[in-house]
Structure 1
């Protein structure tokens, strides 16, 4: 896992813990929440108002390989399931 992936995971974890964007941004090195938003968008994430966290943006899938997109999506599912104490589900790629 590279440095950017570690940073993205940390950001997702902080939001999972219930922190607000004004609290998360300085913890990960941003002086303004808009900067955090731009960083996450560059990594293929968008803000989801239902989960109150960033989720992978399906429209960014063509920018990265389809396989890499599904790998990232599977990591996100595994992390959320383990956070909630649920048995991990596996994506089936056909």
Structure 2
């Protein structure tokens, strides 16, 4: 009976513990994950280009606002100059 008990304990240890052979262990260490795509030679982007941050919608709106604001400021300056020229013409 003691012999059967020892054998049962050994079987449980094998069932619970890792049952790997030396060859399997070597294969496991050398395995290659085929799910990860390798570098694509067709796409010639540098890492910097690939990792470039795309501006958010808010940043794009802000840039557009600043550009339009600068254009309006130039128009205001032109209109003020025209106004001054008209005043000078009326005074003459």
Measured against the shorter chain, the TM-score band is under 0.3
Higher helix share: 2
Question: Greater CA radius of gyration, 1 or 2?
Answer: 2
Q: Identify the structure with the greater strand proportion.
A: 1
Normalising by structure 2, report the TM-score: 0.23
TM-score calculated relative to the size of structure 1: 0.23
